[in-house]
Amino acid sequence: MQTLDLDLREQLFDMYVNEKLSTYEIAQKLIKTERTISRWIKEYGIPKRDNRKLDIPILNNKHWLIEMYVKQKKSTKEIGRMVNTSDETVRKSLIEHGIPRRIREKKVIVNQQTKKQKLNYSAAHQHGTWSVLL
């Protein structure tokens, strides 16, 4: 664990508690990741806000969330950036409104070179299964 200095703690406390900036906004200012900011807030014992979305009324609007997340297929990170909050806050809002999360789809990219390599492998090993799968 990194030893954190008191000046940084004071700066984090001021931005997070007094200015009510999100971890995303603080991360942008300090050129760090949201994860790092969240970790520092925890390590310094800075009290976490219970419900940041109270400061963001649009996240209380289920229809708007459905429009952004379901219809326009924006990610929680994209929505968070639109309203200056973290993707975690958006995720919690989705859960509270009963909006199901999307499951990430694994994209399989088979280009001609990959296809040829698989067919050559199959032929060399006499499996013959790749030609059926492709």
What are the average pLDDT values for consecutive 10-residue runs of the chain, which has 134 residues? 72 90 89 90 85 71 93 92 86 90 70 71 59 49
Shared-domain flag, residues 57 and 89: yes
In a domain, 39, yes or no: yes
In a domain, 19, yes or no: yes
pLDDT of residue 124: 66
C-alpha distance across the termini of the chain, in Å: 49
Cα–Cα distances in angstroms (integers) from residue 118 to residues 5, 7, 42, 130, in the given order: 55, 57, 49, 6
What's the domain range around 14?
6-43
pLDDT of residue 94: 92
Q: Where are the beta strands (DSSP E) in the chain?
A: none
Cα–Cα distance measured from residue 21 to residue 12, given in angstroms and rounded to the nearest whole number: 10
pLDDT of residue 4: 60
Shared-domain flag, residues 72 and 92: yes
Cα–Cα distance measured from residue 80 to residue 24, given in angstroms and rounded to the nearest whole number: 8
In a domain, 58, yes or no: yes
Last residue of a domain, one of 96, 111, 129: 96
Shared-domain flag, residues 31 and 56: no
Shared-domain flag, residues 61 and 84: yes
In a domain, 129, yes or no: no
pLDDT of residue 130: 47
In a domain, 65, yes or no: yes
In total, how many domains does the chain have?
Answer: 2
For residue 99, which of 53, 64, 58, 57 has the smallest C-alpha distance?
64
Cα–Cα distance measured from residue 46 to residue 61, given in angstroms and rounded to the nearest whole number: 29
Shared-domain flag, residues 59 and 35: no
pLDDT of residue 99: 92
